[in-house]
Structure 1
Amino acid sequence: MERQDAEWPRACRTAVVVPVLKDWWLPSAEYHQQLHSDGYGQLLKRGFQLSWEPSAGPCYVCEQTKGKCSYNHRGEFVGCLCSDGSVRTSDCRHRSSKKKDITYMVSAISALYPKRYTYSEVKTLTESFAHKLGKGGFGTVYRGSLPNGRLVAVKLPNNSKDDGQEFMNELASLMRTSHVNVVTLLGYCLQGPKRALIYEYMPNGSLNRFAFGRNSEGEKSLSWEKLFGIAVGIAHGLEYLHRWCGTNIVHFDIKPHNILLDQDLCPKISDFGLAKLCMAKESIISINGTRGTIGYIAPEVFSPQFGQISSKSDVYSYGMTVLEMVGARENISKNSETSSKYFPQWIYENMEEYCLNAGGISADNEIVRKLIIVGLWCIQLQPNNRPSMTRVVEMLECREGDLHIPPQSLLC
């Protein structure tokens, strides 16, 4: 959409992605025939018409005063958050009798725009950093709770030599994202050298706990069906980052440690400290120095002889993560006779036997085989031979029998 009227200074010059429900399709016989043959994806690619009238309704007045419109759960305009911080309701007064709607509006705005906290408030949320959840090269994570009782994870980045670059990378990345498979940033602290990031709390920790046969607490491993669902969720999250979030984001550090699991084991991509933001049409990325984790870094990231750096570098890391999820690395490391081999090569040589032993029943065998084939495609040596994350999602959703093993072109 693009509006050229001279009297409208805030012309829309960017693409807007909106969900389209299947109930909205025209009920004509011809349309249903197209839907059956082409699927929703092709119909969406053909496009559909949207109408937009910016001068209609109270939101126009709100935007003219540089405010932010808000709506209640019924889709009704309930007020305007003004540039001076005050709140005007639908009748343009500062005071309103619709207390419930104003509460909803403030809550909705808070969800869209992460709150800025002082360092003193961060200490209060974490009870002076009393409950440590984990520590790594990125910093230390503590459990905390908001005034409404909601649990949160508070990350205090390390004081590194990058002068806060990783912190700003993560803040800039997550303030641009909103997806079920990307961790939600609820707030942040930026007070001189004191910095903190406040996320939604993930009760099941990271995927690293479940990547192999048993998690770190000795509990039973996840079922193959659950692991497959996690792999699909990560793929959807990466597809969103690479394609659908406006300013495209390449993560550069996909690995089990950076995939968090909520109470329903829904995966959330986290830790955007090494992420790179790029224009929507930018395919080749320039970075300073190698970034990522050994074992998951794409070959082109540490040596240009393998190709150019792009979103396909995340695809490689995703493939290594998937192969680790099926236990390939763990299996080969326990076998003294084959431990010197590169584990994807071992998978090529022992795939049928491994799928049978790991899967057991036929349904699980099919899942294991599909994950391995997708993983092997993702770690192809040349970036151009790897699928996009959109294609990865399609591969995961198709029948296992429709997939074929890629040529053996791997990093030795």
Structure 2
Amino acid sequence: MNTLSKDEFDAEIRKLGRLHHANILTPLAFHYQPDEKPLVYEYMPRGSLLYLLHGDRGPSHAELNWSVRLKIVQGIAEGLGYLHTKLASSHLPHGNLKSSNLFLSDDSEPCIAFRIWSSSPDQPSNVGSSILFGYKAPEAAQHGVSPMCDVYCLGIIIVLEILTGKFPSQYLNNAKGGTDVVQRVESAISDGRETELLDPEIASSTNSLGQMRRLLGIGAACVERNPEQRLNITDAIQMIQDIKLERTIQALPSLRDG
């Protein structure tokens, strides 16, 4: 972002200002300096998803049950899909999707915040080094970030953080080197051991384990190493909505009880 000229930065801000979606945080103000360009957003009292999952052990964390986590996943995916549609002509719709850039409203609706990237030719290497390693798509270091890198990040958030309750750094510098979360998920799915990956705080909802396994499969499809084989955002949204609909129907009182 620091390589953007003022005109480029202003153009990006105007573009973001035209976005209107329940899962997108639109900047309220900004400040331009050559070496610093902070964006100002509406205050989100529940804080970031990063804090709620990994730093908060109070009432807000306790509210992250399966239904709430599924709602968060759906909102993130739909917000990302909106960006990929509205900013389809851009080099990079988001490029920095991670739990610290996701904030929750009072009713647990996730909102995506932004960091603005330069479109200069040398940007891919800079971007690759600045994204948290645990979220970075395999192709990003060589080819730069792309919309499919956003899909990879969505998969990491689904598979690693929301379903397992773990933070990406917990998979770094392991005995095999690098980040092995994708390999672990592939192995667990292949062996039918998906429940071993789930956060114990949601795995106790035994009547929803099938939905969790399906979401795990969606996340795994989002983190395919080959971006051409990766699930596209439109299909991911539809599959997540199908799980959400099943969950909604499951929560309805039985007709026999009426």
Common fold: TM-score over 0.5: yes
1:363 Cα deviation after fit: 3.4
How far off its partner does 1:171 sit? 1.9
Partner of 2:96: 253
Q: Counterparts of 1:356 and 1:171 in 2: how far apart (Å)?
A: 38
Is 1:216 the counterpart of 2:59? The answer is no
The one-letter code sitting in structure 1 at the alignment partner of 2:213 is R
- Match in the other structure for 1:392: 236
Aligned residues: 229
1:341-380 equivalent positions in 2, closer than 5 A = 342-347=180-185, 348-349=187-188, 350-355=193-198, 358-380=202-224
Give me the whole-angstrom Cα distance separating, in 2, the residues matched to 1:269 and 1:396.
18
Would you say the 8 A contact 1:319–1:378 is kept in 2?
yes
Change (3 A) 1:170 1:322: farther
- Partners of 2:140 and 2:42 in 1: how far apart? 31
Q: In the alignment, what sits opposite 1:314?
A: 150
Structure 1 residue 356: Cα displacement: 9.3
Cα distance in structure 1, aligned partners of 2:31 and 2:199? 51
Structure showing the higher helix proportion among its residues: 2
Counterpart mapping for 1:94-105 below 5 A: none
Partner of 1:197: 39
1:266 partner letter: E
Q: Alignment RMSD, CA only?
A: 3.8
TM-superposed CA distance for 1:262, in Å, is 1.5
Matches within 5 A, 1:226-237: 226-237=68-79
How far apart in 2 are the matches of 1:223 and 1:355?
Answer: 12
**SS of corresponding position for 2:41:** strand
1-structure distance, mates of 2:175, 2:204: 23
What are structure 2's unaligned runs of at least 5 residues?
A: 247-258
Q: Distance in 1 between matches of 2:219 and 2:34?
A: 43
The one-letter code matched in structure 1 to 2:111 is K
2:132 aligned to which of 283, 289, 293: 293
1:81-119 alpha-carbon deviations (Å, 9 max, x no partner): xxxxxxxxxxxxxxxxxxxxxxxxxxxxxxxxxxxxxxx
Counterpart position of 1:327: 164
- Aligned 8 A contact 1:233 1:266 in 2: yes
* 1:303 is the counterpart of 2:145: no
Which one scores higher on RCO, CA 8 angstroms, separation ≥ 6?
2
Inter-CA distance 273–246: structure 2 relative to 1 (3 Å threshold) = closer
Identity %: 26
- Take 1:275 and 1:211, find their aligned partners in 2: how far apart are those partners? 31
* Residue 249 (structure 2) aligns with: none
Aligned partners of 2:84, 2:212: CA distance in 1, in Å? 26
2:25 pairs with one of 180, 183, 186 = 183
For 1:3, the equivalent position in structure 2 comes to: none
Closer, same or farther in 2 for the Cα pair 1:194/1:322, shift >3 Å? closer
Q: Partner of 2:40: helix, strand, or coil?
A: strand
**AA partner of residue 206 (structure 1):** S
Contact 2:164 2:198 in 1 (8 A): no
- Label 1:338 to 1:366 Cα distance change in 2 as closer, same or farther (>3 A): farther
Please say if residues 224 and 367 of structure 1, whose CA atoms lie closer than 8 Å, have aligned partners that are also in contact. Answer: no
SS of the residue corresponding to residue 97 of structure 2 reads coil
Question: Is residue 211–residue 327 contact of structure 1 (8 Å, CA) maintained in 2?
Answer: no
Q: In structure 2, do the counterparts of structure 1 residues 361 and 255 end up closer, same or farther at CA, with 3 Å as the change threshold? A: same
Deviation at 1:176?
Answer: 3.4
Which protein is bigger by CA-based radius of gyration?
1
More strand by share: 1
Q: CA deviation at 1:367?
A: 3.4
The alpha-carbon deviation at position 186 of structure 1 amounts to 2.4
Q: What TM-score do the two structures reach when normalised by structure 2? A: 0.72
| Offset, 1:181 | 0.7
Q: Deviations over 1:163-186 (max 9, x none)?
A: 669955762441231111110222
